[in-house]
Amino acid sequence: MTNNKVQTYNVLALAVAIGLLFHGASFFSTLENTYDIFVHIFFADHYRDSWFDPWEPSWYTGFSLISYPPLTHQLFALLSFIGGLKFGAFLLAFAIVVLYVTGSYRFAKLITANDEAAAYAALIAVFLPSVVEAFHVFGQIPMMMGISWLLHALPEIYLFVRYGKFRYFFNGMSLIAVAVCSHHVTPIFGMVFFVVPLMGTAVMDGARHEAGSYEKVGIALFIKYVKKYLPRIIFFGFMTIIVAMVVILPYWIWSKSDPITQVPIPHGSRDNFIEVFSSGLVFFIIPWGFLLLIWPYCFYRYFSKRNIFLGLSFAMLTLLGTGGTTPIPKMLLGENAFNILTLERFTFWATIYAMPLGGEFLWRFTKGDLYQRIMARRSKAVYSFYLSIMVICIFFSAGFTMNLSFFRPLQPESINLKPIQNFLQSDKHYKWRYLTLGFGDQMAWLSANTDAMTIDGNYHSARRVPELTTRAIERLENSKYRGVEGIATLQQFLSSPETFHLKYIFSNDKFYDPLLYFSGWLRVKSLSNGITVWERSDVSALPSVLPKKDIPRFQKIMWGIVPICTLLIAFFFNVQLHWIHHVSGSNKLIDDYRNQETLDKKISPLFYFVIKYWILLILLLALGLIAKIYLMNAKQLGPERVVQSYYDALDFKRFEEAHSFIDPADSLTLDRFLLETSVTDGIVDSYGKINTIETEILTSTADYAKIETQLEWITPLESYHKTQLHEVIKKGGKWYIKANEFNNYIPANQFSDIPEVNFLNQGRRKITTKETFHEDVLDRPVLRILQANLVKKGSSYHVVGMIQNVDSYPADLTVKAALIDENQIVLTSYYDKYHLTHKLLPKEITSFRIDFEAVAWNQLKLDSLATLPTPETFKLEVLATVMTQDLYKSISIQDLKIEQDQISGRLYNHGHLTSTITELVYAFFDQHQQIQWVTTSLAEKSVFPMKYADFQSQTMNLDSLQLISPKSLPILQVNGLENENIINKYASQHPAPLLHLTPYPGYDSKFLMINLNNFVGSPGPF
């Protein structure tokens, strides 16, 4: 073995060692915080338990794992028997690093025809930013496994096309089969962007062999070799299609019989990177990283005569990776594919293309013609300076990418899942579905550690729940990040839990608390890990037999056996046979694609000039980018900037930072600022997230400005627009905000004693592990429907009415209405949302309104409610259970003013808890005291004990409102009993209540009733 060979293998071994050290050591701190790793672990957990049954019932309403190639997950599962699921993931990730680095070496040797340059490329591959991002940010282990196998397959494919030896065919085909079973998208697109261009390179090399040089290869000679190699190309292409179809045949059958039909989910890789800088940074600049320095070199080398087909593919991948920055990617892919694919994969493949030339450039720079040119014209110090900049760029790019989550957290803090597992196991809570909020991808880890089912999931390609597939939302768990559409989608599930057997919600984000409360959910427990458990009563358990979409047995057997077999076959052809030939001394398997012409080609002086100034330009742009980021974070450089920074800090609860923007001359200490902030409560202050900030300078001088700020706040219930005026001054080169005057009202009574009535549901009277006895369950509270009317507002129908709790127990209400046609067929149905008070004290009355929304469980199509036929009648069902929590009623209305355009007044809290959000439920009545309409508004500020809070809301325009008289009597049921029978039974004990109505100066509405629904954000122990 020559010295060059020894040196090459030493560099390759060093690359493998550094790869294991760099990536392997980092896996322990980054892998669990990536986007996808827990999803793949969840899939692995399925194969660990049910190797031959691909149906997974835990997510959505069940889905088939046939929808994702299984090999990576099956290997996870097999390795997990040694040390658990996470151990299996880590161990396989280590193996993929070795596979990837060695594959990069082989691919680079094919492209560069230079062993030493290929070894340097293996070193470059370790620090490739796109790979670092794939491993340590996205957790795309299957994709990395697929590309690693493909890199090993490409040299074999080249050699088969070039020489026609079937040993190369079997080597390459076996590797392609493993790649397909690992990540089907990679080899499918790899055929287009890697294999086909590589076949063109093989044809070009064959023609060069006859001509003597690439310069002498003409069109006629090239066509001659195309004809010569065409049978091999067609044969390999045909066999690749056959193998790809066979090894994952169940997947292709599934995709044909159950195609993906859902609304495209927005993805940052499709953004215009100029308009959305953050998307361009994450999906373009960071993946390219230091490779941007050698962009011209990549195009220069790939658009040489030998590599022209590879160059066209490289240029196409680079262009497609620009997302929506230009219209070209959408034109090339088509609108449907553009909206389905995540385009960062094209940038990833383009960087794989650039990696061999990165190694070649580094080789030229350290011992090739670039080194000789620099040393001949410059000093060694200049060369060392250039080398230092290159090394710094490589390490900085890789290190910054790996630590991206430090600058922008990708996941919530780690959650101890054991208390949740115990809760689901106790009292057979796993018999109902659950939902997580604010868990991030840890929801998949929870699913892997429990048998309970969730209506949510983290694999949107396989979901078939219409309420999800018809919305551009990835999952319910993080619905708040999709704004109004996300909250509305979550609201459908919260309002109709019975449809999905959804009984429990585990919340790790208090943002959702008001939405849960006003949707009728009850806080039942705070677990030791800080997770709040919410429950909805009157939800039936899952049936013992769930719907399942089964597949033929032969497909199950194929899915469980074929992928592992492809791995064993690939090992035999690519490792075992190599070892046998090595032991026997045979040299039959040699990578024979090197040529001296490629090795001897030097960089032209003109291109040397171009690359030198291109690198200088990129470095200047990098400095400009750093300067831009600095200016974006320099928060007191201008009057508008300091106001925007102030609200940004308040929005993300960085109170110390917000305080630093206050003028020091105002003597507002940090403690005082924190105190004032803590007592400023309400739906906006406590649960609002700023959606937009717009500032305008009203007046300004050199060191003074008056700023008008328009703020749009998104809350879990509705959006708010607020206008704030701020005075800002300039001191010492920085701008500061003048502190606003704080309302320091303190109640006259320093101490108050408040008598109250509390309730306790003792629950079980027997300590036993058996199921709850019937005698331990309290009877349902007695309720009656006082009024129920069908109304039409515009083109939509609604049911409005009033319900009274006539029992001596507090009641928790669930209300459902259905519209029925003349054939007694249900046209549509829906549950109550937040247009009522769900928790009623004894004898308390609430008004309600039910809207009919387009949802999947209706008989009508999703978009057909606008043309709903006139209903014959309607059905109203009211269910109630005894409850003892969230019964704070110590808020009263004072100084009520009803004017033509608004209703206003003051809320007074005569209790001992703070009503964080007070909902006012307005019921409008006609002259006959028949209810016409119900609407709600929210008090913007909290109502503290013994304090007042103002409220105001706009009056309703009820001109388009019609009271519909059903052609047949409506069906009114309470707890399964007829409402009329309940009224007759309790008429003597509980006569019809006297309604306390307020005169209302409306044209059609003459009376008004206001109910209060109080949400206590911090109720104390429960």
Locate 106 and state its tokens. 């082989």
On whether the CB atoms of residues 781 and 807 are closer than 8 A, the answer is: yes
Residues 144 and 179: their CA atoms lie apart, in Å, by 10
In this model, does residue 742 exceed pLDDT 80? no
The residue type of 787 is Q
Axis crossing angle, helix 85-112 with helix 344-367, rounded to the nearest 10? 60
CA-nearest of 938, 990, 151 to 514 is 938
Locate 719 and state its tokens. 């959006």
DSSP-assigned letters across all residues of 841-889: -TT-EEEEEEE----TTSSS-TT-GGGPPPPSEEEEEEEEEE--SS---
1022 confidence band (pLDDT: 50, 70, 90): low
CA-nearest of 413, 396, 197, 232 to 306 is 197
Q: Which of 256-270, 308-322, 967-981 has the highest mean pLDDT?
A: 308-322
CA-nearest of 439, 627, 435, 686 to 536 is 435
pLDDT (0 to 100) of residue 1021: 64
In this model, does residue 77 exceed pLDDT 70? yes
770 confidence band (pLDDT: 50, 70, 90): low
Residues 943 and 940: their CA atoms lie apart, in Å, by 10
523-539 residue pLDDT tens = 988 999 999 999 998 88
Mean pLDDT across 195-215: 90
Radius of gyration of the chain (CA): 34
Locate 652 and state its tokens. 């993300």
DSSP-assigned letters across all residues of 332-346: HH-HHHHHHS-THHH
Mean pLDDT across 289-301: 91
Percent of the chain with pLDDT over 90: 45
The residue type of 277 is F
In this model, does residue 746 exceed pLDDT 70? no
4-60 residue pLDDT tens = 777 888 899 999 999 999 998 899 889 998 989 999 999 999 999 999 999 999 999
Please report which helix (H) or strand (E) contains residue 818, including its range.
strand 811-820
591-647 residue pLDDT tens = 555 665 666 677 777 777 888 888 888 888 888 877 777 766 677 788 888 888 888
In this model, does residue 862 exceed pLDDT 50? no
DSSP-assigned letters across all residues of 540-592: PPPPSS-------HHHHHHHHHHHHHHHHHHHIIIIIHHHHHHHHT---S---
483-513 residue pLDDT tens = 778 888 898 899 889 989 999 999 999 889 9
What is the β-pairing status of strands 453-454 and 433-437? parallel
Residues 582 and 593: their CA atoms lie apart, in Å, by 20
859 confidence band (pLDDT: 50, 70, 90): very low
Rounded to 10 degrees, the C-alpha dihedral 593/598/599/605 comes to -160
Cα–Cα distances in Å, from 295 out to 302, 361, 882? 11, 11, 70
Q: What is the pTM of this model?
A: 0.89
Locate 283 and state its tokens. 């999906």
pLDDT (0 to 100) of residue 772: 52
Lowest pLDDT segment from 56-60, 695-699, 752-756: 752-756
In this model, does residue 61 exceed pLDDT 70? yes
In this model, does residue 918 exceed pLDDT 60? yes
In this model, does residue 648 exceed pLDDT 80? yes
908 confidence band (pLDDT: 50, 70, 90): very high
Q: Pick the residue with more confidence: 957 or 792?
A: 792
- The burial class, CB within 10 Å (0-12 / 13-18 / 19+), for 966 is middle
Lowest pLDDT segment from 71-80, 127-136, 358-367: 358-367
871 confidence band (pLDDT: 50, 70, 90): confident
On whether the CB atoms of residues 924 and 1002 are closer than 8 A, the answer is: yes
Interacting residues of 979 by C-beta distance below 8 A, sequence separation 6+: 784, 785, 878, 972, 973
pLDDT (0 to 100) of residue 439: 93
pLDDT (0 to 100) of residue 863: 44
* Mean per-residue pLDDT of the chain: 87
In this model, does residue 584 exceed pLDDT 60? no
pLDDT (0 to 100) of residue 595: 61
pLDDT (0 to 100) of residue 860: 38
Mean pLDDT across 857-881: 69
pLDDT (0 to 100) of residue 747: 66
